[in-house]
């Protein structure tokens, strides 16, 4: 018994005293749970600080609801073709419904196959990526599509691994917030819209257009794979620079689509062999594409509009960030035909003729009767001082003599030719002289009844020649001014068949001097000529008699009523085209005849919408009655003679345009400017051609007249227009006024038998 009692006591004591091992276990347990709690507390504090933005940039609730991005303003033609953009980033948003199915499937298969089953962070992929990194193996990335989009919201790249780690944590927080605020489809769309595909292609819509000239919903399978492949590294997988590398990456994307059941093996085997096709690649910037001069003209107008119009938050609109949608009056087909006509005439005919014409002449392409060397040096020095190179050097504080030395030092450069840019070595001054040889051109075409400008060509190449010869430039108009004078005659009881003796008039000026207009030749001297014949042959003596009868002041008044805004000096020589006017003014004025006497201001924009499609403003042109409908119709009959048997007869003989056309050619002093104004029931179109400097020109009237320089562009343009039946441009005659006119229009039968109908060249004034 005693022994048993002793044992019991011993056991009791053993139970009361804990072993060393159990104490250690409890200690470790406490430490373990303490660490867990500390980690939890640390993470709570860490992610609270991240969420509040104390450890780096964190988008606000409003920014997540409406992620801010610079959105390009888009310019649309009247037939709803996208013709250009204004942007800091060339981004235009698209909707999920506009994304091709293959594009979305390629994204999921390549970047995030479990996208629709996680909540922004794919822990399985994260563990796989971490374990792969620890084992020195590449098992793929752990970032989800949502995280990749979150990363795009950061404006700066981290410059250390620590900052990148913190940014990564920020991405997790942003990703979870995004998942709560957007649907999965919306996040994919936001990601595609935000991503920069390089080459000025920000967002999937711009990328589709720039790389493949299509839209996101019309991408081919192989095109979708190329663009999704670029998401990994757009600079490395740039299809323009590295087609072989891009082909490999594209096929990786296609293989991933096969792996996850989005693509069959047979289709993959076929598509993987295709080369990278960049034939449709086209950069979108302000110096390339269609209607470059028109877009630049609009830029100035729209920037002013933005300063004067305000968003709901009270700030003015920003042309480069707010995604405005500008709907213009331009017709993309008419614009194309106009640009083609300018290129065709100048590159194939007129410019080669000009080069041959001046070949071997020491002062080419300038013509001066005296002091030629000094005058040419003056022109080139003025051009030097107006150049961008000169401006930059002067801003940098470079001395004047050093600037001159710079301009006379040969350097490598690309120069314009009609066969494309070429690389060469020239001094900047030699390049200035080289460019003085090129003939420039302007064309504007408008719809008579609406005032809509349908085509606008401000020059031959905006990259190399940025001066706009439609609205910016003003040149002597020559005989294209004469219709203003003849309008007065029609208003005051004369008719197309009214006759005036072809005798040189003497006009006494207020200062006591006299002015006597000159004609080229005197075959019909002393004979009575009809006004239609006089206008058709651009007879200056008849114009002199008319201005003597109606006064320069009256001509100025009618010109202003017809839309001319420039100053007009009321002197007799005004009727021969001594004034400088813009092509824009002249086309608007001549259009008055086709619009039954009502001047309608040329208009370029029909409406402006915000990025959500809400109309901000609509536009209508200003109008005023400049003359009666009857007077306008009489003028059209007069101007038909120009084309039927006058200075514009090559429209009939060479270009076989036999439909009713009212027109007027114009040639100025020394053949510096060639004009043609052509009016039809559906289009009024004006063309100007000449060199940048008035001293550079053809030396003969045969080559330098408007009928040779400008008229062919009009003819080529209209032939293309008439050949396109989808445009529905009429070849019918002008509609007569409701009030019947008791006027004879067939004036040829009134001409005397000995009147010479051989077309004479237009004279200088």
Structure tokens at 414: 């690309």
- Return d(Cα 546, Cα 499) in angstroms, integer: 11
CB neighbours of residue 408 within 10 Å: 12
Q: pLDDT band at residue 135, thresholds of 50, 70 and 90?
A: low
Average pLDDT over residues 340-358: 98
Q: Judge whether residue 273 has pLDDT over 70.
A: yes
Q: Where are the alpha helices (DSSP H) in 53-203?
A: 61-65, 101-111, 123-134, 145-152, 161-181, 184-194
Q: Judge whether residue 529 has pLDDT over 80.
A: yes
Total count of residues recorded for the chain: 765
Q: Judge whether residue 372 has pLDDT over 70.
A: yes
How many CA within 13 A on the CB side of residue 373? 1
pLDDT for 330 equals 98
Among candidates 596, 478, 462, which has minimal Cα distance to 470? 462
Specify the pairing of strand 325-328 against strand 411-415.
unpaired
CB neighbours of residue 100 within 10 Å: 21
Q: pLDDT band at residue 27, thresholds of 50, 70 and 90?
A: confident
The separation between CA 244 and the C-alpha centre of its own chain, rounded to angstroms, equals 32
Q: pLDDT band at residue 764, thresholds of 50, 70 and 90?
A: very low
- Which residues, 6+ apart, have CB-to-CB distance to 273 below 8 Å? none
Domain boundaries, the chain: 23-55, 91-283
- Which residues, 6+ apart, have CB-to-CB distance to 377 below 8 Å? none
Q: pLDDT band at residue 630, thresholds of 50, 70 and 90?
A: very high
Q: Judge whether residue 137 has pLDDT over 90.
A: no
Average pLDDT over residues 588-617: 97
| CB of 541 closer than 8 Å to CB of 576 | no
Q: Where are the alpha helices (DSSP H) in 182-291?
A: 184-194, 204-212, 221-229, 243-259, 265-271
How many CA within 13 A on the CB side of residue 764? 11
Average pLDDT over residues 427-448: 98
| CB of 477 closer than 8 Å to CB of 760 | no
- Which residues, 6+ apart, have CB-to-CB distance to 37 below 8 Å? none
Q: Judge whether residue 136 has pLDDT over 70.
A: no
Taking the CA atoms of 406, 407, 409 and 415 in sequence, report the sign of the dihedral they define.
positive
Q: pLDDT band at residue 109, thresholds of 50, 70 and 90?
A: very high
Q: pLDDT band at residue 62, thresholds of 50, 70 and 90?
A: low
pLDDT for 18 equals 56
- Which residues, 6+ apart, have CB-to-CB distance to 249 below 8 Å? 226, 229, 230, 232, 237
Give the residues across from 665 on adjacent strands.
676
Structure tokens at 131: 């374990």
What would the pLDDT profile of 313-345 be if each residue is shown by its tens digit? Answer: 999 999 999 999 999 999 999 999 999 999 999
- Return d(Cα 517, Cα 322) in angstroms, integer: 57
140: left (phi over 0), alpha (psi -120 to 50) or beta: left
How many degrees, rounded to 5, is the angle at CA 707 between CA 702 and CA 708?
A: 55
Q: Judge whether residue 7 has pLDDT over 80.
A: no
pLDDT for 125 equals 61
Q: pLDDT band at residue 762, thresholds of 50, 70 and 90?
A: very low
- Which residues, 6+ apart, have CB-to-CB distance to 591 below 8 Å? 446, 448, 451, 599, 600, 602, 679, 684
- Return d(Cα 516, Cα 537) in angstroms, integer: 18
Please state, in angstroms and as integers, the Cα–Cα distance from residue 158 to each residue in 21, 161, 168, following that order. Answer: 49, 8, 10
What would the pLDDT profile of 69-94 be if each residue is shown by its tens digit? Answer: 688 899 999 999 999 999 888 888 89
- Return d(Cα 682, Cα 334) in angstroms, integer: 12
Among candidates 203, 200, 199, which has minimal Cα distance to 216? 203
Three-state DSSP class for 413? Answer: strand
| CB of 665 closer than 8 Å to CB of 707 | yes
| CB of 640 closer than 8 Å to CB of 661 | yes
| CB of 531 closer than 8 Å to CB of 495 | yes
Burial class (CB in 10 A: 0-12, 13-18, 19+), 370: exposed
What would the pLDDT profile of 287-298 be if each residue is shown by its tens digit? Answer: 788 999 999 999
Mean pLDDT of the chain: 88
Q: pLDDT band at residue 28, thresholds of 50, 70 and 90?
A: confident
Furthest C-alpha separation in the chain? 168
Among candidates 590, 663, 592, 594, which has minimal Cα distance to 622? 592
Specify the pairing of strand 580-581 against strand 475-476.
antiparallel
Q: pLDDT band at residue 765, thresholds of 50, 70 and 90?
A: very low
Q: For residue 326, what is the enclosing H or E element? A: strand 325-328
| CB of 195 closer than 8 Å to CB of 145 | no
pLDDT for 167 equals 64
pLDDT for 755 equals 55
Give the residues across from 130 on adjacent strands.
none
Three-state DSSP class for 84? Answer: strand
Within 44-97, strands assigned E span: 73-76, 82-86
Q: Which residue has the tokens 């606000």?
A: 60
- Return d(Cα 663, Cα 730) in angstroms, integer: 17
Tally helices (H) and strands (E) across the chain: 29, 20
- Return d(Cα 230, Cα 339) in angstroms, integer: 35
Q: Judge whether residue 58 has pLDDT over 60.
A: no
Q: Judge whether residue 42 has pLDDT over 80.
A: no
Structure tokens at 209: 């257009």
Average pLDDT over residues 7-29: 60
Among candidates 454, 472, 459, 418, which has minimal Cα distance to 336? 454
Q: For residue 353, what is the enclosing H or E element? A: helix 351-358
Q: pLDDT band at residue 763, thresholds of 50, 70 and 90?
A: very low
Average pLDDT over residues 247-267: 96
How many CA within 13 A on the CB side of residue 378? 9
- Return d(Cα 367, Cα 700) in angstroms, integer: 11
Superfamily for domain range 91-283: Biosynthetic peptidoglycan transglycosylase-like (1.10.3810.10)
Average pLDDT over residues 381-403: 95
- Return d(Cα 172, Cα 225) in angstroms, integer: 27
3-state DSSP of 417-461 = CCCCCEEEEECHHHHHHHHCCCEEEEEEEECCCCCEEEEEECCCC
Three-state DSSP class for 98? Answer: helix
Q: For residue 615, what is the enclosing H or E element? A: strand 615-618
Average pLDDT over residues 8-28: 59
Structure tokens at 649: 């007869």
Average pLDDT over residues 409-432: 96
133-142, 302-311, 357-366, 721-730: lowest mean pLDDT where?
Answer: 133-142
Q: pLDDT band at residue 2, thresholds of 50, 70 and 90?
A: very low
- Which residues, 6+ apart, have CB-to-CB distance to 686 below 8 Å? 443, 444, 445, 480, 583, 586, 587, 590, 675, 676, 677, 678
Please state, in angstroms and as integers, the Cα–Cα distance from residue 273 to each residue in 228, 247, 334, following that order. Answer: 18, 9, 40
- Which residues, 6+ apart, have CB-to-CB distance to 282 below 8 Å? 210, 213, 288, 289
Average pLDDT over residues 511-515: 89
- Return d(Cα 640, Cα 650) in angstroms, integer: 13
pLDDT for 761 equals 44
pLDDT for 46 equals 56
CB neighbours of residue 220 within 10 Å: 15
């Amino acid at each position: 018994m005693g022994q048993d009692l002793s044992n019991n006591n011993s056991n009791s004591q053993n139970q009361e005293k804990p072993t060393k091992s159990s104490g250690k276990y409890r200690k470790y347990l406490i430490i373990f749970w303490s660490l867990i709690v500390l980690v939890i507390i640390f993470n709570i504090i860490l992610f609270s600080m991240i969420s509040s933005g104390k450890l780096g940039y964190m988008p606000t609730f409003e920014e997540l609801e409406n992620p801010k991005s610079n959105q390009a303003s888009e310019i649309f033609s009247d037939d709803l073709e996208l013709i250009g953009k204004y942007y800091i980033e060339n981004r235009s948003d698209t909707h999920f419904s506009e994304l091709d199915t293959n594009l979305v499937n390629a994204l999921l298969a390549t970047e995030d196959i479990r996208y629709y089953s996680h909540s922004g962070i794919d822990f399985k992929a994260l563990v796989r990526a971490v374990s792969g990194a620890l084992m020195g193996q590449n098992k793929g990335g752990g970032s989800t599509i949502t995280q990749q989009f979150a990363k795009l919201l950061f404006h700066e790249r981290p410059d250390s691994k620590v900052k990148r780690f913190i940014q990564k944590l920020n991405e997790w927080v942003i990703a979870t917030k995004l998942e709560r605020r957007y649907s999965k489809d919306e996040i994919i769309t936001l990601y595609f819209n935000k991503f920069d595909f390089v080459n000025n292609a920000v967002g999937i819509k711009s990328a589709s257009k720039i790389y493949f000239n299509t839209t996101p919903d019309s991408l081919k399978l192989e095109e979708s794979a190329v663009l999704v492949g670029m998401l990994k590294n757009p600079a490395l997988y740039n299809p323009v620079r590295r087609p072989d590398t891009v082909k490999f990456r594209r096929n990786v994307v296609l293989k991933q689509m096969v792996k996850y059941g989005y693509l069959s093996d047979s289709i993959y085997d076929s598509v993987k062999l295709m080369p990278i096709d960049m034939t449709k690649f086209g950069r979108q910037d302000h110096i390339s594409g269609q209607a470059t001069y028109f877009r630049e003209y609009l830029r100035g107008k729209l920037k002013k509009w933005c300063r004067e119009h305000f968003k709901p938050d009270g700030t003015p609109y920003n042309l480069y960030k707010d995604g405005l949608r500008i709907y213009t009056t331009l017709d993309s087909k008419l614009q194309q035909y106009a640009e083609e006509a300018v290129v065709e005439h100048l590159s194939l005919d007129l410019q080669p003729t000009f080069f041959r014409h001046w070949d071997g002449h020491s002062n080419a392409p300038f013509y001066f009767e005296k002091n030629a060397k000094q005058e040419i040096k003056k022109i080139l020095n003025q051009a030097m001082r107006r150049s961008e190179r000169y401006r930059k050097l002067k801003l940098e504080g470079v001395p004047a003599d050093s600037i001159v030395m710079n301009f006379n030092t040969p350097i490598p450069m690309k120069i314009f030719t009609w066969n494309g840019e070429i690389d060469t070595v020239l001094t900047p001054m030699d390049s200035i002289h080289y460019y003085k040889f090129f003939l420039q051109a302007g064309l504007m075409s408008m719809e008579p009844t609406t005032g809509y400008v349908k085509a606008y060509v401000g020059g031959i190449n905006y990259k190399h020649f940025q001066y706009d010869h439609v609205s910016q430039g003003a040149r002597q108009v020559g005989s294209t001014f004469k219709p203003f004078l003849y309008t007065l005659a029609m208003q005051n009881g004369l008719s197309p068949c009214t006759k005036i003796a072809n005798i040189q008039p003497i006009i006494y000026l207020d200062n006591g001097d006299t002015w006597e207009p000159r004609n080229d030749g005197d075959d019909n001297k002393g004979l009575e000529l009809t006004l239609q014949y006089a206008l058709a042959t651009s007879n200056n003596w008849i114009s002199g008699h008319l201005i003597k009868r109606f006064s320069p002041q009256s001509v100025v008044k009618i010109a202003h009523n017809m839309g001319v805004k420039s100053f007009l000096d009321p002197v007799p020589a005004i009727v021969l085209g001594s004034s400088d006017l813009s092509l824009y003014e002249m086309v608007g004025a001549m259009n008055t005849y086709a619009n039954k006497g009502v001047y309608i201001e040329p208009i370029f924009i029909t409406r402006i919408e915000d990025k959500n499609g809400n109309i901000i403003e609509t536009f209508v042109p200003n109008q005023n009655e400049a003359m009666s409908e009857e007077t306008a119709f009489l003028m059209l009959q007069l101007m038909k003679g120009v084309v039927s048997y006058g200075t514009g007869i090559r429209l009939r003989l060479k270009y076989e345009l036999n439909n009713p056309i009212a027109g007027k050619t114009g040639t100025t002093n020394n053949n510096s400017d060639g004009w043609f104004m052509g009016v039809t029931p559906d289009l009024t179109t004006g063309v100007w051609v000449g060199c940048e400097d008035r001293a550079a020109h053809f030396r003969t009237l045969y080559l330098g007249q408007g009928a040779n320089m400008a008229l062919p562009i009009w003819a080529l343009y209209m032939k293309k227009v008439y050949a396109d039946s989808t445009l529905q441009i009429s070849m019918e005659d002008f509609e007569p006024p409701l009030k019947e006119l008791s006027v004879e229009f067939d004036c040829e039968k009134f001409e005397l038998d000995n009147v010479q109908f051989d077309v004479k060249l237009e004279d200088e004034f």
